[in-house]
Structure 1
Amino acid sequence: MASIFTKIVNGEIPAYKVAETNRYLAFLDVNPNAKGHTLCIPKQEVDQLFDMDAEHYAGLMAFAHQVATALKKTVPCKRIGMAVIGLEVPHAHVHLIPIDQMDDMRFQNKVRLSAEEFTDLANRISQNM
């Protein structure tokens, strides 16, 4: 069965897309730790990050770097934190989270955004790509 991320890639589920290439997709997390919390995924469904071959893994990291740079230009923060946890969805993904303190990375602090706020934020990040 396809993961929820594969369904997003296939257009079966909507997402607030930030960036997209032929191999990777970045979109806003709908249950964000902070405003701008973005997920970067390979379009190919791979369960775990380290199951990816070296070239595909390096490509995902380069893509995440580009997204993080745009995110930092868009959302005021001290830095962009990165996490790879991979238990909640069986599809490799990288979390990019604007942070000001270590607690911002704990996956316990959540913020709520309206659909309009998500759309505006995704558009502004995309413009900074």
Structure 2
Amino acid sequence: MKVLILCTGNSCRSQMAHGFLQSFDSRIRVESAGTEASGKLNSAAVKVMSETGIDISRHTSDSVDKYINEEWDYVITVCGGANENCPAFFGKVKHRLHIGFDDPSHAVGTEEFIQSEFYRVRDEIKEAFFKLYNEEIKLKL
């Protein structure tokens, strides 16, 4: 089973989703990428994931071009807000899904509020991807 998780910058939401989905089942090959990959991970995303016991610090922020010629069982976009453009993937894909989340890296306000946004989005990603895993992906393994 091969799953590609896409967003724009590939530094935060797609990386968290990648970490969670991979942690649910080692039989799944999970990759994440961005249409405008930042080339680095968001340090707050790495921190909030480490608090769940998942280390994403060695993930890389890659361009979707790296994966365009591969076949995928699932390609899942995770962009959220109405002002964001979710990337399109034109490679060979069996299932295309969109599960949108706010981008916590765009949160403004106090340090405490911004941190709370990373926790909120992290927990939403975990819940949504665990549901997808249990209700769909696990049944196809």
TM-score (norm 1): 0.31
Greater RCO (Cα-Cα under 8 Å, separation 6 or more): 1
